Amino acid sequence: MLRKILSKIKLSPERRRLYFLLHTILGYYPNNLSLYELALVHKSALLKDCDGKVMNNERLEFLGDAILGAIVAQELYNKYPDVNEGFLTKTRSKIVNRAFLNKTALQLGLKDIISSQSKIALNKTNIPGDALEALIGAIFVDKGYDKCAKFVLSKILHPFVNLNEITKHDNNFKSMLIEWGQKYKREINFETEEVSSTSDHAPIFVSNVEIETIVYGRGEGNSKKESQQNAAMEALQNISIKENNPNYKA
């Protein structure tokens, strides 16, 4: 270990600083420092390598997003052995969301080591959360799944997430669906109509959720809000099924 650290002393002052900062954040020294440097480069930085190839963290972000979802899913699966898939999916969505990732990235101190050319404060963008997902991807590539899971659980999930508190609250399915659409750049529209009641009771509202003109969910309720929440819940369920079965049609 000492030999490895001494070898890093030969780094430039800037890279040496990053090397030791990463140790503070991660709890270990990176093997491949370049991999972590790439994880912290947002596409707005417009960086290129010596061959003119664009360098950014989008590929690592893609990988990190999948690995983070798997680690959280495994933790929920083990912690709640008697609940159904719907509960697990909804709870995971409450944890792995853009607002939480942005906040956690800032709390971990990533703001000071992210490379970008954003003209607005990083804490008002999704850049920190993107970098955190990319960092998770870098850990997976550099150290493997077990080390990556240890980082997610010890540095993200356990310090910043109260699972018992989260599971007490009702899900806002509409907000979750809109957030999903923003993340994956998908257009989402809600269409709601009031249906005449056949009795003296309050009218019924019916809502459809369209994702890029395709209906993914339908819901009914005694209010516009309730019908849209039910439609959004069904849409999220169909999205989950489709992600695991590309041939599925909503």
State the catalytic residues.
Answer: 65, 133
- Tell me the sheet residues that pair with 115: 41
Whether the CB-CB separation of 129 and 98 falls below 8 Å is answered with yes
3-state SS string for the chain: CHHHHHHHCCCCHHHHHHHHHHHHHHCCCCCCHHHHHHHCECHHHCEECCCCCEECCHHHHHHHHHHHHHHHHHHHHHHCCCCCHHHHHHHHHHHCCHHHHHHHHHHHCHHHHCECCCCCCHHHCCHHHHHHHHHHHHHHHHHCHHHHHHHHHHHHHHHHCCHHHHCCCCCCHHHHHHHHHHHCCCCEEEEEEEECCCCCCCCEEEEEEEECCEEEEEEEECCHHHHHHHHHHHHHHHHHHHHHCCCCCC
Say how many CA atoms lie within 13 Å of 222 toward its Cβ. 2
Rounded to whole angstroms, the Cα distance separating 243 from 98 reads 19
- Sequence-separated contacts (24+) of 2-8 with Cβ below 8 Å: 4/29, 5/29, 8/33
